[in-house]
Amino acid sequence: MNTRKTLYVKDNDLYIGAFKATELAKKFGTPLYVMDAAYIREVSDAFVAAVNKCGRGAVAFANKAFATVATAKLAAAHGLWFDVVSGGELFMVKRAGADMKKVLFHGNNKTPREIDEALDAGIGFFVIDSLNELELLDKKAGERGVRQDVLVRINPGVSAHTFEAVMTAAPFSKFGFDVHGDAFDVIRDIASRDNLNFRGLHAHIGSQIYEASSYEKAIDITVDLAGRLAEAGIVCDILDMGGGYGIYYTDKDPKFTPSAYAATVENVARRVAEKSAERGLAAPFLIVEPGRSIVGEAGVTLYTVGAIKDFPGVKKYVAVDGGMFDNPRYALYESEYSAVIAGKASEPASEVVTVAGKCCESGDLIGKDMPLQHAETGDILAVFSTGAYNYSMASNYNLNAIPPVVLVDGDRADYIVKAQTYDDLLRNNTVPEWLN
Ligand code: LLP
């Protein structure tokens, strides 16, 4: 457990802000996602300060990690920009009142409809990722008489040490233009077009990365391309170095504080400034795009323990009232989490158990071999670091309702996403006339 001022244990109880986790579970029910506003604010402020330390810059929150109107408002109030990857995320940030000029649109296959929606919303930047997009955007911007600001996503070919599904910049990735291949020519083409305003480069090397060296390599390669473009008279005044900063899930991982994260971002900013200077380039406006590191550790999921099955000497299952429908990350990536029994949090973790969900498949686990206090039916289990890619990847598998999300802000706690009802689950079901 990576404790902090708003996540701590007192008298055997886990607290989030001013609340006992067991109190939150009782008031709002389980399963329940709890998000800690104080943590989101603190990390956001630290990142914004860090990115501006060595020049000008912005922090664009990657909505894919956690997309709700309330947290987008919170992020915007702390000066964050937004990275969106779908018409849905665009719609959400619009509803949150975001300044559209501070929104970037990512994606390797933006649909014609999404391109229309983003242009009509007056989005700040498209991050062009394919030739199809280039042509379509050029045409659609021209039809509107708009000169659209664009960045170009490049694949710097850096393999960061993370799991394969989230590696994005290894050779043959589906993302971006190959920096050692067609990137230069594509950018020269874009720079010559009337309806597109080339502003700079984007590179994102993956997610849950701890190694500074991967970022350094990607920066060096990206600045080198900016240098080659400058020699051809094409200015990159923006460099967007993506997100991906790793967070704490278990004791195998480093325990970062917001200021430690900020130091990582500051290193990125310094390297960009230094390498640009070495190349004789003006310091670019630097964008970073963290998702997980802003919201990941802000989130705790609360469950009620139900069935317990012990196969002595082999395995003990502790089943909870959630599962892969609220947290599919074990099923997808065998991700590891840490957890405590919320009302026994100071007791030693005397058992090693497999926490199972309630879905009808064996792979539906929250975690294998997790050290835990002795669990009894009715206990509240708190799983840490679930703020990123849990709610945003939740599903209605087995027609389970996606749990509500409660935001804790000091001594206040309220829903930011309401519980789904059974009616919600069937809201879009229709029965064709001929079946009736
Ligand atoms: N920018 C771009 C272009 C991205 O593709 C991503 C993440 C980010 C920023 C934010 O990365 P972060 O700071 O959150 O690591 N579902 C996976 C993670 C997928 C990440 C996809 N892209 C998981 O649950 O681990």
Q: What is the CATH number of the domain that holds 413?
A: 2.40.37.10
Domain identity same for 303 and 273: no
- Does the beta carbon of 160 lie inside 6 Å of ligand 1? no
For residue 315, the CA-to-ligand 1 centroid distance in Å is 33
Residue 247 is predicted with a pLDDT of 96
pLDDT confidence bin for 165, thresholds 50/70/90: low
Domain end marker among 247, 272, 295: 295
Is 389 close to ligand 1, i.e. is its CB under 6 Å away? yes
Q: Residue 87: what pLDDT?
A: 98
Closest CA to 222 of 255, 176, 258: 176
SS3 per-residue string spanning 218-254: HHHHHHHHHHHHHHCCCCCCEEECCCCECCCCCCCCC
Q: Nearest residue CA, atom 6 of ligand 1? A: 243
- Active site amino acids: 360
Indicate the top mutation candidate among 292, 295, 336 to test ligand 1's pocket, ranked by most ligand atoms within 8 A of CB: 292
Please give the DSSP secondary-structure letter assigned to residue 102: G
Same domain, 244 and 354: no
Q: Do 202 and 285 belong to one domain?
A: yes
Q: What mean pLDDT comes out for the span 257-262?
A: 90
242 lines ligand 1 (CB under 6 A): yes
Same domain, 155 and 100: yes
In the chain, the percentage of residues whose pLDDT exceeds 70 is 97
The residue nearest atom 15 of ligand 1, judged by CA position, is: 244
Can you name the residues that pair with 178 across neighbouring β-strands?
155
CATH number at residue 231: 3.20.20.10
Q: Which atom of ligand 1 is nearest to the CA of 202?
A: 3
Atom of ligand 1 nearest to the CA of 329: 24
- Residue-level pLDDT at 54: 83
| Residue 120 shares a structural domain with residue 227 | yes
Is the C-beta atom of 292 inside 6 A of ligand 1? Answer: yes
Taking the centre of ligand 1 as the mean of its atom positions, its distance from the CA of residue 12, in whole angstroms, is 35
User: Ligand 1 mean position to 387 CA, how many Å?
Assistant: 13
Q: Following CA atoms 93, 389, 29, 372 in sequence, which dihedral angle do they give, to the nearest 10 degrees?
A: -150
Residue 166 reports pLDDT greater than 70? no
Domain of residue 128: give its range.
37-295
| DSSP symbol at 86 | S
* pLDDT at residue 163 is higher than 70: no
- Is 85 close to ligand 1, i.e. is its CB under 6 Å away? no
Residue 431 is assigned to a structural domain of this protein = no
Which pLDDT value is given to residue 173? 83
Ligand 1 within 6 A of CB of 65: yes
Residue 319 within a domain: yes
Mutation test residue for ligand 1: of 64, 286, 386, the one with most atoms within 8 Å of CB: 64
* Sheet order of strands, 7-10 included: 7-10, 13-16, 19-20
Q: Is residue 82 part of a domain?
A: yes
Average pLDDT over residues 6-22: 98
Q: Is 289 touching ligand 1 by the criterion CB < 6 Å?
A: yes
First to last CA, the chain: 55
The conformation of residue 427, written as its DSSP 8-state character, comes to: T
pLDDT of residue 356 exceeding 80, the answer is yes
Which pLDDT tens digit goes with each residue over 211-223?
Answer: 889 999 999 999 9
Residue 64 lies in a domain: yes
| Digit-coded pLDDT (tens) for 52-92 | 988 899 999 999 999 999 999 999 999 999 999 999 999 99
Q: Taking the complete model, does pTM exceed 0.85, yes or no?
A: yes
For 152, the enclosing helix (H) or strand (E) is strand 148-155
Centre of ligand 1 from the C-alpha of residue 61, in Å: 10
Integer Rg of the chain from CA: 23
Report the separation in Å between the CA atom of 232 and the middle of ligand 1, taken as the mean of its atom positions.
Answer: 33
User: Which residue among 233, 260, 295 closes a domain?
Assistant: 295
Closest ligand 1 atom to residue 296 Cα is: 14
pLDDT at 118: 98
User: Which atom of ligand 1 is nearest the CA belonging to 289?
Assistant: 9
Q: What is the pLDDT of residue 167?
A: 62
What's the pLDDT at 178?
94
Last residue in a domain, options 251, 272, 295: 295
